[in-house]
Structure 1
Amino acid sequence: MDRRMTHADNLIHQFDTVLRTLVPKAAQPSRPSPANAQPEGAMDEEQRRHVAGLMRINHTGEVCAQALYQGQGMAAKLTETRAKMEEAAAEEIDHLAWCDQRLQELDDRTSYLNPMFYAASFGLGALAGAVGDRVSLGFVAATEEQVGHHLDAHLKKLPIDDKRSRAVLEQMRIDEAQHEQWALESGGQRFPLPVKWGMRLVSKVMTKSVYRL
């Protein structure tokens, strides 16, 4: 027999999500990594470090996305919006796990700054959700648009022989575009350019710091 989740249940669920997001190797994807179907390409040490830096950025981006969706879902006014946020967050867990797996293959690590970015993103998500579902959905759309730009740029920067990383980023690009479209079709507010420029600036700070840290 189903029962309604209590406040304690929600807290436990949130804590479990934080652990699965921040602890390396803890996230379990619902889909196999697209990299599994591709051979490992030849890379020298400099190329390997560069790819690891890019994948670390993408992993932290997924940490932020997971935190945003959790914060927004918690504060969402409409049940349908909350359910969609949870569905999108599940797909972001796939991305998180795929990037983590790729970093392990590259004999590298996730960012030391992830806890800080998770906390900041969760707060922003909860704030957007508290303002209203239309603003919250608009924030999703604007965020996914920024992520799409990053992925496009990283796809161009990958070594030509790194088909495993490329397969991961290409599938992530497809999923993020679908999230952006869903958010807008669900009534998300289109943010003005100055707001998007501000988000882009914050994003640049994240990418510069996470590439090495």
Structure 2
Amino acid sequence: MNVRTLSPLDRLLVGLERALETVAGSPEAARPSPAARIEETELDDAERRHAAGLMRINHTGEVCAQALYDGQAALARSEANREHLLHAAAEETDHLAWCAERLKELDSRPSLLNPLWYAGSYAIGALAALAGDPVSLGFVVETERQVEAHLEEHLETLPAQDQRSRAVLVQMQEDEVRHAENAKERGGIELPFPIPGLMQLSSMVMKKVAYRI
């Protein structure tokens, strides 16, 4: 059986398709939502708006994660690391779909600025890949550490009775920890100063904007 090797043009077209699906499409999860078997509970208007704002942030974070992985995979130095990045991106697709579903349940919508978030994150991923696989994997480690931390914040501030959103965030957090550990095991390095701080600053801006827009 012949296995076709994708050309740079093929990868570009696949990347464009993934970008459109991430930003404007309805991605399908390979795994059932962790909230599937949890009953919906009553939330007042303020609680619903807050839960929706948090889930919008997380949805945008998953858009950024998809873009980061796509940019890194497109320019990865080794085929093994490319496959590793694409596998992690597939799990992030689950997160994206779960967050989108939860936003609909909360009568809300994703961030209107998701195309901008995607473009910026893709560029960062591509630049990281150009610096070599150890740096690229180091970006994965640092990104997932920061995502894990902000998910912990959301779990603390989420309305206590919103168990459906909580179940989604808990599973996402477990996956992010594993992604960071896997990237570190594959040779991801600690990023030098001031890169982690700049990443944290950009994340703070994204969270403040995505919560409302």
TM over 0.5: yes
Which position in structure 1 is the counterpart of 2:197? 197
The question of 1:90 aligning with 2:90 is answered yes
Distance 1:10 1:192 in 2: 30
User: What are the Cα deviations for residues 50-73 of structure 1, in whole angstroms up to 9, with x where unaligned?
Assistant: 000000000000000000000000
Q: Is the CA contact 2:73–2:82 (under 8 Å) kept in the aligned structure 1?
A: yes
Of 32-41 and 2-11, deviating more is 2-11
Poorly superposed stretches of 4+, deviation over 3 Å: none
**Identity over aligned residues, as a percent?**
51
How far did residue 102 of structure 1 move? 0.2
The question of 1:13 aligning with 2:14 is answered yes
Distance 2:12 2:75 in 1: 14
Task: Summarize the Cα distance change of 1:8–1:197 in structure 2 as closer, same or farther, 3 Å threshold.
Answer: closer
Of 164-173 and 10-19, deviating more is 10-19
Distance 2:29 2:20 in 1: 14
2:194 is paired with a residue whose SS is helix
Distance 1:192 1:149 in 2: 20
Which runs of 5 or more residues in structure 1 are unaligned?
A: none
Distance 1:32 1:48 in 2: 23
Which position in structure 1 is the counterpart of 2:103? 103
User: What are the Cα deviations for residues 102-123 of structure 1, in whole angstroms up to 9, with x where unaligned?
Assistant: 0000010000110001000000
How far did residue 173 of structure 1 move? 0.2
Matched ranges for 1:130-209 at <5 A? 130-192=130-192, 194-209=194-209
Q: State the number of aligned residues.
A: 212
Distance 2:122 2:79 in 1: 19
User: What are the Cα deviations for residues 9-53 of structure 1, in whole angstroms up to 9, with x where unaligned?
Assistant: 2222112101210015x1011101101111111110010000000
Name the TM-score, length of structure 2 as normaliser.
0.97
Which position in structure 2 is the counterpart of 1:80? 80
Distance 2:167 2:155 in 1: 10
Distance 1:31 1:50 in 2: 26
Distance 2:4 2:199 in 1: 40
Distance 2:151 2:185 in 1: 22
Name the TM-score, length of structure 1 as normaliser.
0.97
How far did residue 84 of structure 1 move? 0.2
